[in-house]
Amino acid sequence: MAKRQRQDDAPEEPQPQPSTDVATGLSLADLGVSDGLAQVNAPRIREPRPGFVFLFHPERWFVSHGLVVPQLKRLVLQNALNGVRQGENGRFSISTALADQAKRGWQALDPLVDGKASYVYRAAEGVYLSRWETAHAGSSTVTGDGKGYAEWLRGLVDTGKIPRPAPYVLEQLRDRLEGRARRLQDQVRTVPSVQVDLDAALVALSAVEHELAGGPNPTPIPKGAANPLPLE
Amino acid sequence: MATDTLTTLSSLLPNKVVTAEYLRLLADRNGALIRHPAFVYGGDGRGLGHVQISMRALGLDGYRILQSRAPGTLIAPRALDFDDFTCPVGPYSKAYEFDDLSRAVLEGLINPTILARDAMKATSNTLVSLAAQLVGGFANTSGTPGSALTAAQLLEAKAQLGIRSVEGPYVAVLSGVQFLHFEQSLATGTAGAIQWLPATAAMIGQYGDGFKGNWGGVDIFVSNRVPTTNGGVDHAGGVFGRGALIWANSSFAPEGDPNIVDFGATDDSGRNPVRFERSRTGLAGKTAYVTHANLGIIEGIDEAGEAIITKATV
């Protein structure tokens, strides 16, 4: 006997089948979303990051990715911060600030110090980052490239744009790294995860010793021929 | 028979209901950091005739000890040791503008009282954000870039300040990540040899939420305005004593205008005069609320601070 079709049985409309293609996946319509997505192109960094000039100090060095490199700091271009002045035309005057920093041993590095590209760029309105920092569309995260930065710094040292560290500076750095390595050697006995830090400390120590071995001979302080001490 | 649903009644219902209470968007609101005695206040520039405030450092109170001399000989006078730090003061401002209709509709949420409170907090937060740019700029450094901050490194930094005869009390300004690493180091090492003294409610009331406690004689503050360095992979915090950072401000000359209110030193720092004014554009039916402050901060005695540069990622 044939099945009688009930009057209120409407013929079923074919339901849209979700795409099973792995490459295309599910669309918004497949997921039942009725409106669209707002396009976000700009980074969402809320607070402004002012521009800056890098400063170098002959006694501030560290080891990064096996390279002995200077530890720079930033002279931030913001009005009344560390002596920086902003004029009515909006431009910054940093001569006084640089003179103050020079008294403490700091020297400015021109943004085009490597002759190729500026080390600072504008990522968004009011947001200035170094060349090794990347802002991401729709995100407040800024990621960094420590290795690339270390290689750039080492390049400046090797090409003479930044003078090599004095031996006493390297010796102080070596002493600190030796102390750190000793503490880590004790610590790794009870906290095995510290082995990674210990390995890094030993690599850094090796880099400093290599730099010491290959560096220029220290310029001795001249000693007078006569005994300078007023002894009877 | 018909059943009404939200869909059929939609024209009778408001689009949404807004509660009276509001949340605060996330921000670092630790404006009271500047109250710490390690920060040196250079003074109020109003009436001094210059936008730069100078603070002198003198080599007295036993700075130079006596020299021995042979009996009957003259002692040669020596020049007084001194240094001088010049802190310029510059204008900082913020403004919000609303039209009359929005002000009327949002009267319970946006009104001069709420905006005035925002003005005071924003001023002290501005000064802290300036200070945070400087704490990692000292020539002497501790910590290992690329590695997590340890308690031993903070101890070393404090010891270096002591070796250089830096006046206390000492304060450490660290990023949130640096503080996390420090706490982890405390938890897994030291075995409580130096006791961690967490901030009490009274201390937080005085120094703000950023004050976390004291360890080994160093007051520890956390500010997420501590900048990154080394290509963005490290944070540049610091520990310092008195004289390392010097700040100044300038109050405002009275205007005698009821639309301009000068709040005395009522921001979170307890020192900064804040000007809050109402500016009306009647032809457009708009009112702007503008905040002004005159601020400046510089590095003082470089040896009075030690930068702490360590890994910026958890």
Instruction: Please report which confidence band the pLDDT of residue A175 belongs to, taking 50, 70 and 90 as the band edges.
Output: very high
Residue A45's pLDDT is: 80
Nearest chain A residue (CA) to B190: A187
CA distance B303 to chain A (A): 10
Average pLDDT over residues A47-57: 92
Instruction: Using a pLDDT cut of 70, give the percent of chain B over it.
Output: 95
Is the pLDDT reported for residue A22 higher than 80? no
Is the pLDDT reported for residue A8 higher than 50? no
Instruction: Please report which confidence band the pLDDT of residue A39 belongs to, taking 50, 70 and 90 as the band edges.
Output: low
Q: Chain A to chain B, count of Cβ pairs less than 8 Å apart?
A: 116
Average pLDDT over residues B158-164: 95
Identity of the residue in B137, B230, B297 whose CB atom sits nearest the CB atom of A64:
B230
Element (H, E) at A208: helix A195-214
Residue A2's pLDDT is: 44
Chain B residues within 8 A of A82 when measuring between CB atoms: 133-134, 137, 297-299
Instruction: Please report which confidence band the pLDDT of residue B164 belongs to, taking 50, 70 and 90 as the band edges.
Output: very high
Note whether A130 contacts B: Cβ–Cβ < 8 A.
yes
Q: How confident is the prediction for chain B on average, in pLDDT?
A: 88
pTM: 0.83
Is the pLDDT reported for residue B59 higher than 90? no
Nearest chain A residue (CA) to B226: A49
Instruction: Please report which confidence band the pLDDT of residue B83 belongs to, taking 50, 70 and 90 as the band edges.
Output: confident
Average pLDDT over residues B179-202: 83
Residue B159's pLDDT is: 94
Summarize pLDDT for B226-277 with one digit per residue, the tens: 999 999 999 999 999 999 999 999 989 888 999 999 987 667 777 788 999 9
Q: How confident is the prediction for chain A on average, in pLDDT?
A: 82
Is the pLDDT reported for residue A6 higher than 60? no
CB contact under 8 A, B145 and A72: no
Note whether A96 contacts B: Cβ–Cβ < 8 A.
yes
Nearest chain B residue (CA) to A50: B133
If one compares A4 and A180, the residue with the highest pLDDT of the two is A180
| Buried/exposed code over A80-103 (b: 16+ C-beta within 10 A; e: otherwise) | bbbbbbbeeeeebebeebbebbee
Is the pLDDT reported for residue A218 higher than 60? no
Chain A residues within 8 A of B87 when measuring between CB atoms: 80, 83
CB contact under 8 A, A145 and B233: yes
Range from B80-84, B99-103, B123-127, B188-192 carrying the lowest mean pLDDT: B188-192
Residue A17's pLDDT is: 54
Residue B176's pLDDT is: 94
Residue A106's pLDDT is: 96
CB contact under 8 A, A80 and B129: no
Average pLDDT over residues A93-121: 93
Summarize pLDDT for A60-92 with one digit per residue, the tens: 999 999 999 999 999 999 999 999 999 888 899
If one compares A194 and A133, the residue with the highest pLDDT of the two is A133
* CA geometry: angle A70, A75, A81, nearest 5 deg: 150
Instruction: Please report which confidence band the pLDDT of residue B35 belongs to, taking 50, 70 and 90 as the band edges.
Output: confident
Residue A229's pLDDT is: 54
Residue A222's pLDDT is: 46
Is the pLDDT reported for residue B6 higher than 80? no
Residue B213 gets the label, from left (phi > 0), alpha (psi -120 to 50) or beta, of left
Is the pLDDT reported for residue B96 higher than 70? yes
Note whether A183 contacts B: Cβ–Cβ < 8 A.
yes
| Parallel/antiparallel/unpaired status of strands B245-250 and B40-44 | parallel
Note whether A188 contacts B: Cβ–Cβ < 8 A.
no
Instruction: Please report which confidence band the pLDDT of residue B51 belongs to, taking 50, 70 and 90 as the band edges.
Output: confident
Summarize pLDDT for A137-156 with one digit per residue, the tens: 888 889 999 999 999 999 99
Note whether B217 contacts A: Cβ–Cβ < 8 A.
no
CB contact under 8 A, B231 and A146: yes
